[in-house]
């Protein structure tokens, strides 16, 4: 498996992601978006950061890069695609996944550790966990509030396409555990194909033993399966 980690001007989690994938024995290469997607890749990460300075809306400008046409095509063919944080914003802007990530309820940039409840273990991204597991991931965003039309959210929930919800340490899902005001505490979802996922929390930042927490490895292991 060779994973392309796509770089835009302002990406800043690209190298961390390559390192976290390498540590799991997953071959990963940085790909500058203007260079196009190599034929040989069989996994894609849209990494975190501040592409184009978050001007207009976070992810809106990167989503217009021609490489996203190639990413959409490959996603339709079943190639696994993961958008992390700014990559999740880009993924929604590029219609890889429904909904949008918009300005936090606090209207502030928030950088903190949060608890997430695993909502389904039957996707490649969460197969390493048990449904109901509580994991701890960091968030670092100003525009992480998940918004979506009610009927689309109903469809996501009834199709078991919510990966993680923000929760308390004991796994209860409450407003207090919701750091950014996301609808129904949603932190990550899959698209129409379960091989396409976006999430605001950062699995790559909790994937190396030296970081003191490896809860995020399970998400990245999807690329090894
Ligand atoms: N860590 C990141 O990817 C930053 C996310 C994004 N640009 C925001 O502030 O909302």
Q: Which residues line ligand 1 (CB under 6 A)?
A: 13, 48-50, 54, 58, 85-86, 109, 140-144
pLDDT at position 187 is 98
Architecture of the structural domain at 2-224: 3-Layer(aba) Sandwich (3.40)
pLDDT at position 1 is 74
Say which residues have a Cβ less than 8 Å from residue 211's Cβ, sequence separation at least 6: 205
Strands 27-32 and 100-102: unpaired
Over residues 75-95, the mean pLDDT reads 98
Atom of ligand 1 nearest to the CA of 51: 7
Query: How many angstroms does the Cα of residue 204 sit away from the middle of ligand 1?
Result: 14
What pLDDT digit, counting tens, does each position of 18-68 carry?
Answer: 999 999 999 999 999 999 999 999 999 999 999 999 999 999 999 999 999
What pLDDT digit, counting tens, does each position of 123-137 carry?
Answer: 999 999 999 999 999
Ligand 1 atom 8 nearest Cα? 141
pLDDT at position 64 is 98
Ligand 1 mutation pick, 8, 13, 49, 103, max ligand atoms within 8 A of CB: 49
What pLDDT digit, counting tens, does each position of 178-219 carry?
Answer: 999 999 999 999 999 999 999 999 999 999 999 999 999 999
Sorted by where each begins, the domain ranges of the chain are 2-224
């Amino acid at each position: 498996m060779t994973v392309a980690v796509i770089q835009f001007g302002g990406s800043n989690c690209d190298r961390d992601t390559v390192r976290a994938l390498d540590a799991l024995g997953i071959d990963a290469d940085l790909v500058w978006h203007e260079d196009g997607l190599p034929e040989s890749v069989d996994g894609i990460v849209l990494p975190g950061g501040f592409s184009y300075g978050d001007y207009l809306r976070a992810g809106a400008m990167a989503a217009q890069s021609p490489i996203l046409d190639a990413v959409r095509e490959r996603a339709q063919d079943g190639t696994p695609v993961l958008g992390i944080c700014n990559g999740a914003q880009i993924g929604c802007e590029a219609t890889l996944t429904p909904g949008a990530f918009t300005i936090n309820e606090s209207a502030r940039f928030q950088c903190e550790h949060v608890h997430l409840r695993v909502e389904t273990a039957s996707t490649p991204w969460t197969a390493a966990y048990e449904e109901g597991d509580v994991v701890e991931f960091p968030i670092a965003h100003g525009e992480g509030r998940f918004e979506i039309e009610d009927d689309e959210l109903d469809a996501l929930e009834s199709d078991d396409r919510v990966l993680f919800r923000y929760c308390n340490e004991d796994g209860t899902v409450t407003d207090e555990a919701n750091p950014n005001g996301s609808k129904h505490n949603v932190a990550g979802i899959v698209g129409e194909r379960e091989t396409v996922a976006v999430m605001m929390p950062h699995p790559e930042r909790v994937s190396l033993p030296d970081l003191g927490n490896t809860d995020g490895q399970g998400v990245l292991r999807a690329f090894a399966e």
